[in-house]
Structure 1
Amino acid sequence: MAMMAALALAAAAGGIGGARVDDPYIWLEDPYAPKALAWVEAENARTLAILEKDPGYQSLFDDALNIAEATDRVPAPSLVGGQVTNFWQDAGHVRGIWRTTSVAGYAQPVIAWQTVLDLDALSTAEKANWVWKGAQCEPIKEQRCLLSLSDGGEDATTQREFDLTTGQFVPEGFVLPKSKQGNAWEDADTLLVTRDWGPGTMTKSGYPFVVKRLKRGQPLTAAVEVFRGTEDDVGAGARVLVDATGNKAVLFGRDVDFFNNEQSILTPRGIVRLDMPKKVHIFGMLDGQIVLLTNEDWAGTPIKAGSLVSFDAKAAMGGKPVPTLIFAPNARQSVDSDSVDLTKSRVLATINDNVRGRIMAFGRSGTGWTGTRLPLPDNAATYLVSTDRTSDVAYLNATSFLLPSTIFQADAAAGTATSLKVSPARFDASGLVSEQFEAISKDGTRVPYFIVHRAGPAPKGGWPTILDAYGGFEVSNTPSYRGITGKLWLERGGAYVLANIRGGGEFGPAWHEAALNINRQRAYDDFAAVGEDLVKRGFTSKPRLGITGGSNGGLLMGVELTQRPDLWSAVNINVPLLDMIRISKIAAGASWQGEYGDVAADPAVRAFWDKVSPYQQLNATSKLPMPYIFTTTKDDRVGPGHARKFAARMKELGLPYLYYENTEGGHGSGANLKQTARTNALQMVYFKRQLMESAQ
């Protein structure tokens, strides 16, 4: 019994055979434990006494808040039911309002909005702290919507049925209590719901895997199960695809891990598994064709990984979809999986070409697809903002480091795009230039990066520089306008760098997969290579070089802090992953084994992270620059435990650090604009002190 107890304690503390088994800070993993919150309060007080008392803080906060609350911001349009909706926050609407106008009304210089929901008033009336998490509308009439409302910014939401035409919650309408959950409208009176149904319905990652059919007027207990995954999956869910000609497809998906999923389709004879690649992103349906991006080769066909394709939904009900190529990128291109959408007659997609965006409109004639590039600015990042399945109206965004966001209204069928609204400049860009360079990584790979700096030669010692990257989950970092960074940093003499390291999606699936699992050191080597290249070119120097990243980028920061402390003088670690040995035991960490590997089941993965995991690499002999560590109590995705434990370990070892934890905000910088402004100001004060003042 004594031996079994010892083994259990060792496993709970991080496993057997690792770099360090004992972990005295597991108690900090509980977000709301009184002892942990008392620790947070003390750490916050210490950090705020330094950063908020800095003479430069108030000016930075005021600038950040003015930008965040500016009433001349361009409101982002979202097409719903032929009208434009927008969620808006400012000083008078801290939690925000949901409002509508017509397509013609949005094109006017002064938009006449109609408020349909005031979240501040609702929160006051219900004594709640609601944070907007979006709306999912019934896809035919698009008048009834399920609103997702979060308590303080958590991923878990309460979902309530809302009528856009009346501006009221539907009496006796659908109400889905708080849970991590998803849903799809099977018809106007039926939902396909995946949520916490009770014991045995949530995965080890903390996500639901049982889909039930819920009819209007039924209690949740009467919902009927129609599909399920397994507790070892990341999760499962349903989606309903509808196109402008009345075609409809009901799909069920099992997320086997973060990237691999199994798709099934509802047919007259039941649910049929589709024989297709497991690494896909499904976007919608046009003219009966289901449109998707495949991130692996489609076996038995010439379709290669990274291609945009379609297949006939009805023909696929036999279980064997036949793909048709829409677009195949070359080696320096990729289809942005976060920027593909459908109109009445076109598929719109952002194609990144050497990390510069192009939006293409693809139309179908006969059995093939042809593409047209929409007329948008060159040397800019481009994004789809919103589309309408019942028309060819679409809203697009073009931006760059020095070009404020511009909203274009496009006619996807005609291939036209007209500038509609330009965001006011938030900082003085005169004298600034943006350039693209390449660094050579440890294995010889060319790694591109962008730098924004003052024109002309660098001052002695170089510019105070912030180097930013993400490098994971196939996310592409593109050169977009960053008003806060411009105002708080570039205007004050700093330089900003964005690195496109492996692990991201800038060059398609191969660029991402090159840094998966035990190959992740490549991403960390890429980042260090960019830092070294900046110094080599004379842009900056080690005393003036700082780095920043959040979430997976926060893990990147932790690794760079512990692996290359010689290269940085400031390390900003946001909402991070830092304990990669216990990652599966903290918040939703088990869901990312497709990205990082399974420490518990794969000895090679365990061996890799034993040598790399930032929390385990801290030791008394470390000579590290002082990091600034930020997280939020209500982050139910990554969890605050990683950041807390890392700071506590640094304190134990006598290493310098600053730590701040926002008590709201979820997996982000804040639950409202003032919290976000404070987060930005604190971080910039830290960089100012480390790179502009300490480097003198």
Structure 2
Amino acid sequence: MKHRILFIVLLTMATFYSCKNGPDKPDYPETKKVDTVDIYYGTEVSDPYRWLEDDQSEETKEWVKKQVAVTNKYLEQIPFRTKIEERLTEVWNYTRQGTPLRKGDKWFFMRNDGLQDQSVLYVKEGEDGNERVLLDPNNLSEDGTVALADYEISEDGKYMAYAISRGGSDWREIYVRDVKTGKDLDDHLKWAKFSNISWVAESGFYYSRYDAPAKGEELTNLNEFQQVYFHKIGQPQAEDELVFKDSENALRNYTASVDDDGEYLLLYGTRSTNNNSLMIKAIGEQNWMVADTTFENNTSYLGTVDGKYWVLTDFGAPRYRVMTIDPENPGIENWTEVIAEESGVLKNVSLSKSFAVAMYVIDAESHLKVFNQKGGHEYDIELPAPGSVGSLRTIHGNDRIFYSFESYNVPNKIFSYNLERRNQQIEFASDVDFDGDQYVTRLVFAEASDGAQVPMHIVHKKGIRMDGSNPLMLYGYGGFNIVYQPGFDVRLIPWLENGGVYVNAHIRGGGEYGEDWHQAGTKMNKQRVFDDFILAAETVIEMGYTNSDKIAIRGGSNGGLLLGAVANQRPDLFEVSLPAVGVMDMLRYHNFTIGWAWASDYGRSDDSEEMFRYLYGYSPVHNIKSGLDYPATLVFTADHDDRVVPAHSFKYIATLQDKYKGEKPVLIRIETKAGHGAGKPVSKQIDEVADMYAFTFYNMEEEPYQ
């Protein structure tokens, strides 16, 4: 018996030392400080790393080079990183397919055979016809960093206008391809951004763009005076017709869409990420008719039924409803309700020949309801499990729909559903090297101090031990009315396979319960978002899942801000922090690219002294303090991120490396030829996720794939 105990002790020690047989604390490069001071309402605020905002300077590039070298050296020495990368490559190698789209007699869909850096667009002549490649973005660059960002097919299926993104940038270049020949025309449009593409028959399309930025400022310049143009097929961009420009309000964006009948143009205006204006005019006419210019509602066109526009709107309904608009008399005072607001949040409605299929979100999970076109509820569509409906597409002129479904342990499936016969069949199912039946998803609620019930989805292996020792990854976003529903993510497999618990905290600021839930986490309520996230961490500890030495936190963009704030406020609660492309300087975020549009959620430091002091009180860069034991931190950013510019992450890590004197690593991972996340090649994603898990497991003293 004594020999057996000794063997177990030695085995435990060997396991521990094999985990720690890796990199020591990094030797950070020195980051110079400058004497930059801003004065806000009489308060002096030092900004010693202001020079890092110029990401094109040779000095910044040299700093980036040194930081990359330190981070790479650290990650390369983690002994099990290769195992993680190999397993990620195995599980990522499965076929993925999108919901089909029909235009004319042609069918279009996206597919990725597994490890292709970019998904490929296919076309078929008829639903049962032979498929052929229409556009393979993998051929647009040698390294896979040119992505297909958007495409729209003309109604007759003759032409495709498509937008590409280079290196992850939000800037778009638009081309036109002949669907029959698969060849591009001469059309080439530049400097489109935050734009849709809307066809007028096959003659041309509407799009939105900015004036060309100054050379060297493409990724940082303030995006001002967006304009709507009409591009006629075959003509140079210089001859495009200016359709709309607001010469008085530089910080407003505009997009235009053609209605179902091709007779009217709908113009949406935004001055933030929330709420929009709506104007309408007959195509070919000059005068716009006002539908709603209050900028107090979110309204979008769904389709035309019996000559009336159906719109999805939160006008008078924070959880959204459907109303009708007469395009010849569109004033908001004349709108009529057709589908009333319910307890669930109405997120999407797709119109078929005879029905309207509505997707509701209830406790962050999807539900499908079918209505007739008088607004009467007919029946519900039963979904395979608690999860999320992605793309929902009806086929013009009939009563058949296609929708995608997935959950944490259910890989993506594409269903077709006959609305008259009320039956469905699986059109496509992903075949992943992952046994979802071995895992369980739980929906639990944590009660906040003000009584709010904060939902959390918890995913883990069945039969997990509840002794407080499990590694746990807590994800959060909490902003901009966005909901991250339960969805299959191949990136989670290595974490779950190795006994990890994954938690998605649906904190306030998102859209889980409509506009009220969103507003409860904005501006002077932003601390609620951080409090909800901290509550989620404390709750999973109380439930016996984990302890503070085994919690990693993860979030990107607004979620990166979340991580920066909570790591400052409760560094004792988390062992690892993984903020990605985060908004870290809350006093200056509005000075870069599209940052001004986020003020509806954040407020601005120049709004008022009260708003400045509130932002200053939680801004991640400004609240890093010496003497605290911060979590091991790996910051993620990219050199082509022109949404949340990398200066946020640069200044954050420079401050953290300067002030934190503990033993845990605080590093930054800077990706090249990548942006805010969309369109990132699969190969880069695998490398990034492997680094994330290697860093996390190592700093939790866990060894995966033993």
Q: Structure 1 CA distance, aligned partners of 2:495 and 2:682? A: 19
- Quote the offset at 1:320 in angstroms: 4.9
- Give distance in 2, aligned partners of 1:213 and 1:262: 20
TM-superposition CA deviations, 1:440-473 (whole Å, max 9, x none): 2232211111111233462543211001111111
Deviation of 1:425 after TM superposition, in Å, equals 3.7
- Give the secondary structure class of the aligned counterpart of 1:309: strand
Per-residue CA deviation, residues 291-345 of structure 1 (Å, 9 max, x unaligned), is 3232241xxxxxx222221313434346754222314121xx2122xx4433344
Decide whether aligned partners of structure 1 residues 54 and 239 sit closer, same or farther in structure 2, where only a CA change above 3 A counts. same
Percent of paired sites with the same residue: 25
Q: How far is the alpha carbon of 1:681 from its aligned partner?
A: 0.8
Q: Distance in 1 between matches of 2:577 and 2:401?
A: 40
Corresponding residue number in structure 1 for 2:588: 582
Name the Cα RMSD after superposition. 2.9
Task: Report Cα offsets for 1:257-292 as digits up to 9, x if no partner.
Answer: 221221110045721111476322314313233232
**Greater Cα offset, 431-440 or 643-652:** 431-440
What is aligned with 1:463?
470
Per-residue CA distance 1:119-156 (angstroms, 9 max, x = gap): 333436xx995221120223x31321211011112110
Between the aligned partners of 2:653 and 2:175, the Cα distance in structure 1 is 39
**Displacement after TM superposition at 1:69 (Å):** 3.5
Q: Secondary structure at the match of 2:83?
A: helix
SS at match of 2:84: helix
Contact 1:569/1:691 (<8 A) preserved: yes
Of 360, 366, 380, 1:357 maps to: 366
Q: Secondary structure at the match of 1:622?
A: coil
1:597 to 603, 622, 626: 603
> Does 2:510 align with 1:508?
no
Match of 1:236 among 235, 254, 261: 254
For 1:32-71, list aligned pairs within 5 A: 32-70=56-94
- Pair 104,141 (structure 1): closer, same or farther in 2 beyond 3 Å: closer
Counterpart of 1:136 in structure 2: which amino acid? E
2:121 aligned partner:
98
Out of 352, 355, 367, the position equivalent to 1:343 is 352
1:391 partner SS: coil
For 1:292-331, list aligned pairs within 5 A: 292-297=311-316, 304-317=317-330, 320-330=333-343
Which stretch shifts more, 664-673 or 499-508?
664-673
Partner of 1:416: 423
Give the secondary structure class of the aligned counterpart of 1:21.
strand
C-alpha contact (below 8 Å) 2:227/2:242 kept by paired residues: yes
1:175 aligns with one of 162, 183, 188: 188
Mapped partners of 1:50, 1:161: distance in 2? 46
Shift of 1:92: 7.4
SS class of match (2:141)? helix
Distance in 2 of aligned mates of 1:249 and 1:54: 60
SS in 1 for 2:411: coil
Q: Which residue of 2 aligns with 1:376?
A: 383
Tell me by how many angstroms 1:387 deviates.
3.2
- What is the distance in 2 between the residues matched to 1:91 and 1:354? 32
Give the deviation of 1:386 after TM superposition: 3.3
How does the TM-score come out when normalised to structure 1?
A: 0.88
Counterpart of 1:135 in structure 2 is: 151
- The residue that corresponds to 1:206 in the other structure is 223
Query: Could you tell me which of 216, 221, 225 is aligned with 2:238?
Result: 221
- 406, 411, 427: which is aligned to 1:404? 411
1: CA distance between counterparts of 2:402 and 2:42?
Answer: 51
Q: Distance in 2 between matches of 1:80 and 1:546?
A: 46
- Contact kept, 8 Å, 1:283 with 1:341, in 2: the verdict is no
Distance in structure 2 (CA, Å) of the matches to 1:145 and 1:543: 53
Give the aligned length.
Answer: 658
Q: Distance in 1 between matches of 2:42 and 2:352?
A: 52
Equivalence for 2:443: 436
The answer as to 2:205 corresponding to 1:188 is: no
**Partner Cα separation in structure 1 for residue 563 and residue 93 of structure 2:** 30
Q: What code does the residue aligned with 1:163 have?
A: D
CA distance in 2, matches of 1:586, 1:528: 30
User: Which amino acid in the other structure matches residue 396 of structure 2?
Assistant: R
SS at match of 2:329: helix
Summarize the Cα distance change of 1:597–1:206 in structure 2 as closer, same or farther, 3 Å threshold: same
> What does residue 473 of structure 1 align with?
480
The structural deviation recorded for 1:516 is: 1.2
Q: State how far apart, in whole Å, the 1-side matches of 2:500 and 2:331 are.
A: 59
- Structure 1 contact 442–529 (Cα < 8 Å) conserved: no
CA contact (8 A) 1:159 1:176 kept: yes
Mapped contact 1:306–1:508 kept (Cα < 8 A): yes
- Per the TM alignment, residue 199 of structure 1 is displaced from its structure 2 partner at its CA by 8.4
Alpha carbons 1:350, 1:384 under 8 Å: kept: no
For residues 605 and 51 of structure 1, the distance between their equivalents in structure 2, rounded to whole angstroms, comes to: 40
Tell me: CA distance 1:318–1:502, structure 2 relative to 1, closer, same or farther (3 Å). Answer: closer
Helix, strand or coil at the partner of 2:428: strand
Superposed counterparts of 1:490-501, under 5 Å: 490-501=496-507
Where does residue 607 of structure 1 map in the other structure?
613
Distance 1:603 1:18 in 2: 9
